[in-house]
Amino acid sequence: MHAIHCVLFIAVASGLCAAADTRPAELVGIGQLPGTAADASGLIDAAAGFPLNMLGGLSGLEYTGSGDRFWAICDRGPADGEIDFPCRVHEIELPLPSSGPGSFVPRIIATHLLTDEAGIALRGRASLFDSEMPRKSQRFDPEAVRKSSHGTLWISDEYGPDISEYSLDGKRIKRLNVPDRFCIQHPAATKEQENTSNVSGRRSNAGFEGLAVNSSGKRMFVCIQRPLIQDSQGPPDHLTGLHCRLLQIDLETGHTREFVVRLDAPNHGINELLAWGDDRLLLIERDDKPGVAAQFKRIMAVHLDGATDVSNIERLPSEQLPIAIRPMRKETVIDLLDPRYGLAGPSFPEKIEGLAFGRPLADGRQLLVVGTDNDCNPKTPSRFWMFALSDSQ
Task: Render pLDDT for 259-268 as a digit per residue (tens, 0 to 9).
Answer: 999 999 999 9
Measured CA to CA, the distance from residue 177 to residue 190 in angstroms comes to: 25
Query: Helical H runs in the chain?
Result: 3-17, 191-197
Closest Cα partner for 337 from 289, 374, 275? 289
Closest Cα partner for 386 from 104, 55, 21? 104
Overall pTM > 0.85: yes
Domain annotation covers residue 127:
yes
**Residue 115 is part of a domain; what is its CATH number?**
2.115.10
The predicted structure's pLDDT at residue 13: 41
Q: Which domain holds residue 47?
A: 26-389
What are 288-324's pLDDT values in tens digits? 999 999 999 999 999 999 999 999 999 999 999 999 9
Q: Say yes or no to pLDDT of 278 above 50.
A: yes
Q: 10 Å Cβ neighbour count for 183?
A: 19
Closest Cα partner for 94 from 385, 389, 349, 355? 385
Mean pLDDT of the chain, nearest integer: 92
Domain annotation covers residue 19:
no
Our count of domains for the chain comes to 1
Mean pLDDT of 95-120: 91
Domain annotation covers residue 109:
yes
Domain annotation covers residue 371:
yes
One-letter amino acid for residue 21 of the chain: D
Domain annotation covers residue 7:
no
Domain annotation covers residue 4:
no
